[in-house]
Structures are given as structure tokens and as C-alpha cells.
Structure 1
Amino acid sequence: MNRITAAALAGAALVALSTAPVSAQTVSDYPETRATDTSETIFGQQIADPYRWLENDVRSDAEVANWVEAQNVVTDAYLEQLPGTEWFKEELAKLIDYERFGIPTKAGDRYFYSYNSGLMNQSQYFVRDGWSGEGRLLIDPNTWSADNATALADTAPSKSGDYLAYAIQDGGSDWRTIKVLDVATGEEMSDEIRWAKFTGISWLGDEGFFYSRFPETEEGQDFQSLNYNQKVYFHRLGTPQSEDQLVYETPQFKEQGHGLGVTDDGRWAFISSSTGTDNRNELRVIDLENRADGSWQTRDIVTGFENEWSPIASTGDTVYFMTNKDAPRYRIVRADLTQPTLEWEEVVPQGDNPISGASIIGDRLVVEFMQDASSRAVYYDLDGNRTGELDLPGIGSIAGFGGEPGDSETFYSFTSFNQPGAIYRLDVDTGETQVFAEPEVAFSPDDYRVEQVFYSSKDGTRVPMFIVRGKDSTGPAPTLLYGYGGFNISLTPSFAATRLAWLKAGGTFALANIRGGGEYGKEWHDAGRLNNKQNVFDDFIAAGEYLKAEGYTTPEGLAIQGGSNGGLLVGAVTNQRPDLVDAANAAVGVMDMLRFDRWTAGRYWVDDYGYPDREADFAVLRAYSPYHNIRSGVDYPAMLVTTADTDDRVVPGHSFKYTAALQAADAGDEPHLIRIETRAGHGSGKPTDKVIDEYGDILAFLAYHTGLKVPPAE
């Protein structure tokens, strides 16, 4: 485990460490945390914030750094003596050790894809020259840093496949550096883009590419300052970033974010603008074929942030879009963009199941639907006539279907809870599929069964939940319940070695598709955001009650887990129903709902959470904010909070403050610990060895406190 050392902080004031022995059942002494009298009056309420100093950046505040070190000392000592720690780490290493391929991207005659032989810390990136060509290594991120915490974050081949733009992520941060390779030689070119963030990379032929960036931050504020004034630029290949052309900005509306995508035929460039995370955007188009004097003249397609509009593909003058305008479960429309007044023609109407994606491959539309949180793919001709459906092996999730009109092939993946992602090549003319990559794993998928149940929430709403357990399991078993519930994000069946390790130990895994996600379209999302946020917690609580009442889990065997918005979920539910929960892992959670909008990307989340400086929203946020609702004098379950020092999505101060408040409260004898990783961020780009180490600790903690009997380590 890579940790901050006290020696590196010489001269700083030390935080007192406990010298008492640490029991595997209780932690009698937590590190001392300084509490201040910081408070403020907000809408007539006195709001205490005694641990606000823990918001400071660990890299620049010695007192915070020492607090992190002190907490890790206690947490490490506790976790190292748990009986299941070594077994879980050994098992995770076995389960992750299988070949993994990414879905290929075709450009020109070349095929690009990622590859991991099994335990590589970072996946490599390969190219084939022609379908029958041998894979050739282009990028190996494992050589980029000594701790393997520098990752390949994104890739984009040029139209011909002669060049590859790729983004580098360091230490888990959301900031990106973009570079370019000559694909034929594998040599790195002189191009380098900095301060890119929340951006795609979209090529204009082979001339160069579009990207989005923010202004350079003040020194020392890379990981905390708010992200405003995002702009779209065009970078011409072989030129310095200082010569990049500004394509689009809205200086009068600094809160708007902008991204640009070019249609596969190179005819149109669409600029999507949004103010938050609520999938409501404005849309502008640049006619790349008829632009005068090299200008980037935009035309408004959709104005007003009322609905979601996503371009799918263009066939000459006609462009297809996916939208939830007048269709909360989405529909597909098209329009001739050369006409002075656009007329929207419906191609695929809204149905009972929400549309989750679409593409045009060859001469047909491939439309992905979500049916009770599981995937379907249906074929249509370009006029919207249904022509068939992709045959899938069962409950699971599909992804891919990249390509363009006129292509004869596309690639997609299928995965489920007991099935790692297999990748298939689809002939769109015949409908035939062939395996591109099918993993060979150290377990039999048939040893586990996936079922779906429906339960009633507090207000009677019917909520789906997946339950995964051994095929011969019939009685109650310690159960790990996972949830998210926000930002229109749907949780669908997918494979994770971390979940399978829990199953192999004899546990049950459950995933609740609670409101706030997108499993049933806009209405499901709206029912779990803003002043409806309590529905999310009620749904999750009802899932736990169902698992206990129906005998899936043991009376004292319910563990809950969630990350990011799901970390907020775990914190809020633990506050509201500590009696229901037996162990909890709140990962990289949003824990201070009165100040979340003050750092990095936090300001975007007001679409889901509301504005802390508006009285009506404040009242809702104050009612469930995990940091502000810890109840002293109540026995809390065992809690392991996890975060990382370089998380610039949900800054670690959220987790620091919540943990300090929980440890200071009279909250019972169960341990309330925090595990803080270094050189890691919100989750993406984390090297395999850190994943194994972290999840080995988490699973051992949850197992011990739910009574899951873990086999001895080999």
C-alpha cells in the first residue's frame, strides 16, 4: 500500500497516534482530530462545521497530511489482522488474471483495441493492419511511472488510421494530457495538449482534432478549484498548443460546459452545451463541408436546456438524433440540416422500454433498449421499420456497435454478473456473429445463478433488484447490497472480480436498481433527484429489508456498498437506518451536501442535488447530508470509508470530515475507519495491484462484520 509517510512531512505539527492495541472487534482509540468552533447561520439555522480544516489539500496542508497518515496507521493495523484479508487478495489475483480485450475501433484499414494479459497494472494498446493482421503494440502505459498510477485514459484514431491521439491520466486525476502517435512507426509526435478535462477527442480527417479544455488553474489549485469557462479548440497536427484555434466559448455563461463531436462521414460537427449533469443540452452544428475561410460558423439546432439531444449519425444532409423531447423513454428522429427550417421526423417512437443508445451501421439502425435494467439490441432500417433483434445469451449488458453508415461490420461486448465481457464481430448484412475475444477464467460461470426480483419501496413503487449467488445456495448467507441512485446512471449486469470473490467465499451479492438512475427513463431519474432524493434512500432501505425478510441474508449479515453518489447513499442510509445495516463501505462519497458545489466538478451536480444557497433546496439537503446527520447515542454498524488523496472529482475532504465526525460521535463500539489511498483518484486509471490491495481490505472488513466465513489463505 502506497502511503504518505511522516518522514516526508518533517517539521509539521504531529497528530496524536493511538498506542493502544487494536482489536479485530473494536477500535478503542481513534487518532485525535482537532475540532474547531467554526459555524455559520444559513437560512436561520446554525450549522456547525468543526472539521472544515480537513477540506484543505493534503499536498499543501501539513496538518491534513498528518491526519491522513495517522488514520491510515490505525486502519492498516486493523485490516491486516482480519482473518480474510490475505485470502481475498489471493483470490482477487486469481480472478483478475485472465486475458481482457477492449472493443475494437476501426479506422481506415486498421483495428485498434486495448489488451491486458491478466495482472498487468495498466492495459496496453494494440493495432492490427487489416483484420487478419497480427496485433502490434502501440502504447504500454506500464512503462510510464514507477508506481503504475499513470494511465491511458482515452484513444482516438484519425479518419485514415494513420495517427492516434491519446489522453494520459496521472494519479487518478480528471486532468488529461493529450499526445499523438504516428501509427505506422509507433513514434510519438511533437503534439501535446494540456489542461484538457471532461473532453472527447474528435478528428477532422487527418488534419487535426477538436478537444475541450479549462483555463489553467492557479498554482497549487489543480485538485480543488472550480471548473468554469470550458472552451472547444481545434488542434492542427504538428503545431504547438499555443496556435490552437478557438472554436466555441460562452464567456457570458461561465458555468456552461461544451463538447464537440464530428460525424463519421466528416460532414458535420456538433457542439453540445450543458450546465450540469441532467442530460439537458443545447446543440449547435458546424457544416464542415461548406465552411468559408476556415471559420467555425455555428448554427443553432436546439436552444434552451429543456431536453436531451444526442446526434447518432449522418447520411449526407440528413442527421439522426436520439432525444427525450416529448418522450421520457427516448425516441429517434431525423432532420435535413440543409433546410432553413428544421422539421423533425420521427423514425423510432418511444416504447415501453427506454432507448439507451443507437448507431447506424451499414444501412440499418442498431437501437439498444433497456428492459428491467437488462440490455436488448433491435435492428431497424433507416426509415424505422423493425427488421430483427440481436440474440443474446441471457440477462446482461451490451456495449459497442461503433462504426458508420456503409460499414459491413461492427463490434459489441456482452457481460453479466457471472460472465466476463466477451467481444463479438457482427456482420450487419447477414446478422451473423463471430467471437473476437472470449475470456478463459479461473471459475465456471455455471456455478453461479443470476435472478431478478421486484420489491415494494416505502411508497409502494415497484423496484427491481438483481441477486447473484452460488447455484446450490438456498439458505440465508451474508449479503453485499450495492446501489447508486443518481444522475440518470443505470446499473446493469456486469462482471467484477471483486464481486465474484465475495460469491466464492460463500456470500450473496445484490444490486438494487433504485430511483435516481435511468433504468426506466427520465421519470425514474426525476423520481430520485432534488426534493425527491429521499426516495433513493427509501428504495435502498426497502431492498435491505426485503433481503432480510425473504431469507436471502442472515439477520446480522447485511453489508451495503456504494461509490461517489453511491457513497452518499451509504452515508445517508446508515444515518437513517443504522439498525438495518451490519457493515458498510462508503467509497469516495459526497458527504457534505451544504458545500459540495465549492470544488472542481461539484457545481455540475446541482441538477441532481439542488443549490445549497437556495432555501428550499437547502432544507432538503440539510435533511439527509451524511456529515450533518450523524446521530450520537445510536449504535452504528461497522463502517469503512474509502477515498484517495488525488480525487479531484469528489474531493477527499468529504470523506475526511464525515469520518472525523463519526469517530467523535457516541456511535457504538463497532469500528469506524477510513482508508486513504495515495496517487489515486475517483477510480479510473487505478493500477491492478492497488485494486487488489484495496478490495482485499474492503471485502475482508465487510466479511468479518457480517459473519461471512472466509477460507484460510493458501
Structure 2
Amino acid sequence: MEDEFAYLEDLNDKRTEEFIKEENERTKKELAKKADEVYPHVLDNFKKPTVRQIFAFDDERAAVLIYGEKRLVMIGDNEIYSAQGDEVITEIWKVRGTKQLGVSIGKKGSDVTRTLILTEEGKIWKDLGELSYQPFYYNNELCYVKSYRDGAPPDGGEYPTERVFCGNDIVYGKELKPGELISVDSFGETLTLTKMKGWRYSELYIGESFDKLKKADEGEVIEVIDYKGGLVYLKNDSVVMGNIVIRFDHPVNSVAGGDGFVAASVIKDYSTPIQFYDFQGRKIGEEPHDHIIMMDGKGTTLFVLETSFTYSSKVTKRRVVNGVGAEEKLIEMEKEEVSVTDIYVKGDVLLHGYLVYKTLSPKAVIVLGYGGFRVSLLPTFPKGLKVLLDEGYALLVTNLRGGYENGEEWHKAGMLLNKKNVFRDFEQFLRVVKAMGGKTVAFGGSNGGLLVGAVLNETPHLIDCAVISHPVLDMLRYHKMYVGKYWLEEYGDPDDPKFRDYLLSYSPYHNLRKGLPKTFVHTGINDDRVHPAHALKYVARSRKIGNDVLLLVNDSGHSLSDPETEAREYSYVIAFIEECAK
């Protein structure tokens, strides 16, 4: 079918530039006054420091990435690197067996990053170049993975794809198919490589060189943990250690290993306790936690990063020797007084959500959903929406099929030809709020934007206002824009008759209807994951049929940005919600 708005996929087309300019002017005319009013409060929230990532640098110190007014990397108590000017730090990497670490940086408003190798003192030892990740040493040579998102690699082949470089040479990757991801590491003379097809199926390889890698295992959700005289790895909800297999009764959220112990954070009753085991598979302890973001072990020490609805981040460590030692708090940041209630809804399955609030009579309930790619929505500090909680709104965080809150079967129940289950789950929560007389603000980003867009078309009467952020909306062309081929295993291939009609039946762009609730759509012109055209085309078609829809296109990417850019974006979201829901 002919698409009259196809030109919006070309960001260099003069018509596209004019469309973005006109839409931004329209949105700013309606929302700028309120956005400017709330911006200082939102910016203050984003400037407050939050720990985003950790790993064990040694058995005494963690390497820590901190976001806030300053974005910096620390080892223990020492600041070794901070973002300068319009630079943004996006990720830190362990370089196993060395006193070095990797730091990925980019420019404000862009998703293109480069990885620097730093010494323990913070000196730049090497720049690996753009879109480089996962640094490691093999045969005393520095190696890394490089991504090719919008062009073929030097050895040819389709893209998006990845290659492994050692020095200046490609040593692995030509056999990769578009959309396959790899994770590589080395343990002395042993290499491990995990090839991932989508977000659920993996092949694990091990060997002494890249040309001698042999398949060690395959299946769902494989992640290498450590090498302790043999490979230690996660496979679905079990940890495999040679002939010993630790099988968990709940979905595994994250795993770390150390000398003689394995620590697994599992998802149990929608929180994440840590269970400890020795290398004989015997359980040696358990700790309750709200939401473990990540863990890492070194020697007998385990470092833990966690968050909650009531604090933004906490870093702790404990010794694990014949049992679990007392927790030592290293960092705790930004506390918040909110009430949290578990909500259970019975549809064709039992659903769970978290209601977060400061008042029992909220102005409206912001219903947040995602439902895909094994992403679990667990207790997380609501930094971006904190202003709305302060102003008397409530937040309902929904655990939908397609996530991992109840394991891989829960994920499968919301992917491919089961995707509409996610929309039905979200609708159940909206019905609960409406039945209690509340106003609903449907909110979702990326895959969550697809969710909100689809539910808007199906049940507009359940939604008073909608916010669609950096969304996937054209389900017939998503795989032809930027890195969409990575999502084929999740959504299905639009070029395959098996999936095409199903994708078309719920594609938010193709099923737009007249009379939808007021909607705010925002995206970033530099988003290189979800093409901005999803948002542009959707708004163009929605307005043509007479819907009340606003579009804001920022100079941002898909991922993390600087506090000012994040605050500006959220200021418009908040301004829209306040104007729409009043």
C-alpha cells in the first residue's frame, strides 16, 4: 500500500525539516509556558546524583558510574574521569585481568559513542573509536566488539551487525546474520562467545582461539558469569557449573560469582531477593531487596547496586565466606517519601502492578507500561515523574506479559503472534482506574510507545490522555529503519506472510482512527535505534484525520542524555499531562 507520509523517513528531506519545525512551533505555542514553569524543578531532580552502573574493580573497590549534575566515573572513593563540555558518559566496562577499565562516551544529543580505555589513575590509554564495546584482552592484545548500524562492515555483509576486532584486524563476525548480537570475554587463555538471536535464544561457544570456538550449549537466556576451572554460566533460570546445576524456582534477574560462591537475584513477588549458593550447589543465604540493578563479585566480595520507589540508588558490599557477611553501605542517594500499594487484576491471567502515590485522591493516574523484550518493570525511583507525584498525581507501574517478571514463558506470551496479549493486559489496568472514577494517562516509551499507540486505537474510551515516547509505531516497516532487524525475533518479520497480517492488524500507524484522546508524541532527531519517522508519520496521519495530537522533536538520541536535555523533554511531558488532565 502507498504511504503518503513515506518522505518523513528521510530526515534530510526539506519537507521533513519543515514538518518538524512546524510541529515544534505548534507544541511550544501550546505547552512552552507550563514547560518553562516546571523545568527548574525537573532539572533539579535530574541534577541529583544517581548511580547507574557498577562492577568489582578489585575485592575492596567498585568502579562506579554516577549520573547527575556531574557525570563521572569513580574507583572506590577516587574520581578518575568526568564528562567535559557536551560529553556524556554512557557506560563503563570491566577489562578482566587488568587494572584498566573501559568508558563509553558520546556527545550530548547523540546515540553514537566511543570507548576509551583508562588506567586506574584515569589516564586515557587508548581510544577504540566509534560504536566500540566490550573491551577484553586476548593473547596480550586488546580486543573489542564494534557495531555497524547504518552501513556494512569492512569485510562486507548485511547490517546491522557486529564484528570482533583485535588490534586493527577483524577476527570474528562475518558469519553473523543481520540482527544477531554477540557477547565476548576472555578468562586467561579461554575465550567465551555468546551469539544471541533476539532477546531469548542464545548459542554459547568456548575455545582457545576464535577459529577454534566450539559450541558448548544453546538455549534460552544464556549469560557467562565466570570461569573457575570451568565455565560458570546462566541458562534460563539455572546456573551451570560443570556437572552441578543450580535450578531456581523463580526467574533470575541477575547473577554474579566470586571465590566459592554464586549470587543470584531472582524475581519473587515482583521484588528481587538475592540467593547465595556455594560451588557444591548448596544454598548458604538469602537477602530481601526491592530491585537489584546489577551485581558483581571479586574474590570473596560481592558488590550490589539497587534502587526502589523510595531511593534512587544504593551501593553495598558484603563478604561471602562460608555464609554471607554483614552488608556494608558504600553509597546511598536521594530518598523519597511515597506510598506504594500492590495492585492485582484478574483478566485471562493474574496481573500485578505497583500504585505509587502521595495522596489518596490523585488528579489522575499515570499508567506506565512496556511489555516486551524480557524487560521487567520492578520498583524504580520515579525521577522523571517526581514532580507529578508532588503535584498530586499517582503512578501505576504495570507488569505485563512480554516482560520477564514471571519468567521466559511470560515473555513468550507477549511476543510474536501473542503480542496482543500485552495490549489486553494494559487495558485491564486502565479499566480498574476508570472503574474507580479516576482519569487515566497512558504512558509508554519505545516498545511501550507501541503499546500505548495500539491500545489507543483499540480502546480509546479507557484513556483520557496519552504520552508516546520515542516510539515504534509502523509495524510494517520497522525492520527497514535503523536497527529494526534486531527486533525480528520479538515482533516477527513483516515480509513473512505468517506475521504480516498480524502485525498489520495492530500497527498503531496503520490503524489510526478518528476521535482519539489528546496525545503527546515526542522523539529525538538523533535517535539511531528507533527511527524518528515512526513518530513523525504517526502524527502526520493522526492530524490529517482530525485528532488532537502534539509532537515534540528534540535534539536527543534514544538513550541517556545530559540532565538539561532530559529535564527539557520531561518538562514538556509534565506540561502536557497537567494541561490535558486538569
Smaller-chain TM-score bracket = over 0.9
Does residue 450 of the first structure (1) align with residue 363 of the second (2)? no
| More strand by percentage | 2
Q: Flag the 1:440–1:278 CA change in 2: closer, same or farther, 3 A.
A: closer
Does residue 428 of the first structure (1) align with residue 350 of the second (2)? no
Between the aligned partners of 1:161 and 1:261, the Cα distance in structure 2 is 13
Does residue 175 of the first structure (1) align with residue 112 of the second (2)? yes
**1:112-511 correspondence to structure 2 within 5 Å:** 112-116=63-67, 118-120=68-70, 123-128=71-76, 134-135=77-78, 137-143=79-85, 148=86, 150-159=87-96, 161-184=98-121, 186-189=122-125, 191-196=126-131, 199-204=133-138, 207-214=141-148, 217=151, 227-235=159-167, 244-251=168-175, 253-263=177-187, 266-275=188-197, 277-287=198-208, 296-302=211-217, 306-316=219-229, 318-324=230-236, 330-335=237-242, 345-351=243-249, 353-392=250-289, 396-404=290-298, 407-429=299-321, 430-441=324-335, 445=336, 447-457=337-347, 460-470=348-358, 473-475=359-361, 477-511=363-397
Q: What is the RMSD computed on CA atoms of the aligned residues?
A: 2.4
Q: Shift of residue 531 of structure 1?
A: 1.2
Between the aligned partners of 1:701 and 1:68, the Cα distance in structure 2 is 18
Corresponding letter in the other structure for 1:227: Y
Does residue 706 of the first structure (1) align with residue 581 of the second (2)? yes
SS of the counterpart of 1:498?
coil
Q: Flag the 1:205–1:420 CA change in 2: closer, same or farther, 3 A.
A: farther
Between the aligned partners of 1:702 and 1:331, the Cα distance in structure 2 is 43
C-alpha contact 2:366 2:441 (8 A) present in aligned 1:
yes
Q: Which digits, 9 at most, give the CA deviation of each residue in 1:162-191, with x for residues without a partner? A: 43332222345443322223433x4333x3
Q: Shift of residue 665 of structure 1?
A: 0.6
Corresponding letter in the other structure for 1:187: K
SS of the counterpart of 2:314?
strand
Does residue 64 of the first structure (1) align with residue 6 of the second (2)? no
Corresponding letter in the other structure for 1:112: A
Q: Which digits, 9 at most, give the CA deviation of each residue in 1:270-293, with x for residues without a partner? A: 111133x23201111123xxx6xx
Q: Shift of residue 495 of structure 1?
A: 0.4
Q: Shift of residue 87 of structure 1?
A: 4.5
C-alpha contact 1:111 1:127 (8 A) present in aligned 2:
yes
Q: Shift of residue 384 of structure 1?
A: 1.4
Q: Shift of residue 253 of structure 1?
A: 3.9
Q: Which digits, 9 at most, give the CA deviation of each residue in 1:189-244, with x for residues without a partner? A: 3x3333535x422344974233233388389xxxxx97344221223xxxxxxxx2
C-alpha contact 1:72 1:676 (8 A) present in aligned 2:
yes
| Residue 690 (structure 1) aligns with | 565
Q: Which digits, 9 at most, give the CA deviation of each residue in 1:652-689, with x for residues without a partner? A: 0110000000010133xxx31100001x11132x1101
Between the aligned partners of 1:574 and 1:368, the Cα distance in structure 2 is 36
C-alpha contact 1:213 1:232 (8 A) present in aligned 2:
no
C-alpha contact 1:201 1:209 (8 A) present in aligned 2:
yes
Between the aligned partners of 1:476 and 1:159, the Cα distance in structure 2 is 50
| Residue 30 (structure 2) aligns with | 78
Q: Flag the 1:80–1:188 CA change in 2: closer, same or farther, 3 A.
A: same
Q: Shift of residue 296 of structure 1?
A: 4.9
Does residue 677 of the first structure (1) align with residue 554 of the second (2)? yes
Q: Shift of residue 161 of structure 1?
A: 5.0
Q: Shift of residue 427 of structure 1?
A: 2.0
C-alpha contact 2:457 2:508 (8 A) present in aligned 1:
yes
C-alpha contact 1:484 1:565 (8 A) present in aligned 2:
yes
> Which structure 2 segments of 5+ residues have no match?
none
| Residue 510 (structure 2) aligns with | 628
C-alpha contact 2:160 2:485 (8 A) present in aligned 1:
no
Q: Percent identity?
A: 24
C-alpha contact 2:62 2:303 (8 A) present in aligned 1:
no
Q: Which digits, 9 at most, give the CA deviation of each residue in 1:43-79, with x for residues without a partner? A: xxxx34110000002xx32221121111111111111
SS of the counterpart of 1:612?
coil
Between the aligned partners of 1:479 and 1:533, the Cα distance in structure 2 is 24
Partner of residue 660 from structure 1, selected from 510, 534, 540: 540
SS of the counterpart of 2:526?
coil
| Residue 8 (structure 1) aligns with | none
Between the aligned partners of 1:357 and 1:422, the Cα distance in structure 2 is 16
Corresponding letter in the other structure for 2:129: R
| Residue 91 (structure 1) aligns with | 41
Q: Which digits, 9 at most, give the CA deviation of each residue in 1:340-367, with x for residues without a partner? A: xxxxx3521241x212222212321111
Corresponding letter in the other structure for 1:530: L
Between the aligned partners of 2:267 and 2:295, the Cα distance in structure 1 is 15
Q: Would you say how many aligned residue pairs link Structure 1 and Structure 2? A: 576
Corresponding letter in the other structure for 2:64: Y
TM score, norm. by length of structure 2: 0.93
C-alpha contact 1:259 1:273 (8 A) present in aligned 2:
yes
Corresponding letter in the other structure for 1:376: P
Between the aligned partners of 2:94 and 2:175, the Cα distance in structure 1 is 31
Q: Flag the 1:311–1:163 CA change in 2: closer, same or farther, 3 A.
A: closer
Does residue 650 of the first structure (1) align with residue 530 of the second (2)? yes
Corresponding letter in the other structure for 1:644: G
Choose 381-390 or 155-164, whichever is displaced more. Answer: 155-164
| Bigger radius of gyration among the two | 1
> Which structure 1 segments of 5+ residues have no match?
1-46, 129-133, 220-224, 236-243, 325-329, 336-344, 708-714
C-alpha contact 1:571 1:591 (8 A) present in aligned 2:
yes
Between the aligned partners of 1:93 and 1:658, the Cα distance in structure 2 is 29
Q: Which digits, 9 at most, give the CA deviation of each residue in 1:529-574, with x for residues without a partner? A: 111111111110111001221x2x62xx210111100011111111
Between the aligned partners of 2:160 and 2:43, the Cα distance in structure 1 is 41
Q: Shift of residue 694 of structure 1?
A: 1.1
